[in-house]
Amino acid sequence: MATWSPSTYLQFGDERSRPFFDLLARVTAALPQTVVDLGCGPGHLTTALADRWPTATVVGVDSSPEMIASAHEYESDRVRFELADVASWRPDRPVDVVVANAVLQWVPDHRQLLPRLLESLVPGGWLAFQVPGNFDEPSHRLLADLAADPRFAAATSDVERPAAFDAATYLGDLALLDCEVGAWETTYLHVLAGPDPVFRWISGTGARPVLQALSVEQREVFVPEYQAMLREAYPAQQFGTVLPFRRIFVVARRRGGASS
């Protein structure tokens, strides 16, 4: 399995954080006791959950040892982190809020995971997640096409491939599970600075498994070709390079319990 680099991921920390806060704004839980951040990454956003709900215990969960090692610096008397696979995670007891920010796209068949995530909630509890919706964009299409080139296909054929669905699909799934559901889409226009910014962005996330599957020699060929394709697809302008990025948001409240 490919590894994660916290420093690479955080190169565009402000831009990557924006959807998290837009998602969180729609969760109106009043006084949750336990809040879980699934796929917490390096932990910098998990602390925002503790700030939002100052009486809650907050648990960050991630399957990456590198991310959890980085997250430990944010631990406190109310914030802790656990190394665990999101696909098999279960709390010791039902929790009030589960947030899954940009992680479910890495879980195969993650729609099948939604009933179990709801079961982890108390009556009236909240499930909130967002996933990328840009897998048909040039950044990913060019990556897939180049990875399928005969020069690289043998090395990249079995890599992790993230996938997600549209907002209406998730809304239907959760509404049939007796939830109050809000679902929407937003396309951010990120203005990125510096050389090859789209490559630097995607190398920390979507392209990471492909790049790590290649040998050093293959990577020396692959990377310059991919960078050239991205520069053509996302040309630099005087003010920076524009990366349109579509995100899918879902907030679901399990029925039952007191309103909040």
Domains and their CATH numbers in the chain: 6-254 (3.40.50.150)
Is the model's pTM score more than 0.75?
A: yes
pLDDT computed for residue 5 by the predictor? 55
Which tens digits make up the pLDDT trace of 95-116? 999 999 999 999 999 999 999 9
**What is the token pair recorded at 162?**
């993230």
User: What pLDDT, in 10s, does the model give residues 5-22?
Assistant: 555 555 677 888 999 999
CA distances from 208 to 104, 188, 202, 217 (A): 16, 22, 7, 16
Position 260 confidence tier, pLDDT thresholds 50, 70, 90 = very low
Taking only the tens place, the pLDDT of each residue in 174-209 is 999 989 999 999 999 999 999 999 999 998 888 889
**The predicted structure's pLDDT at residue 206:** 84
Q: Could you give the CA distance from residue 114 to residue 86 in angstroms, rounded to a whole number? A: 11
C-alpha–C-alpha distance, residues 208 and 24, integer Å = 27
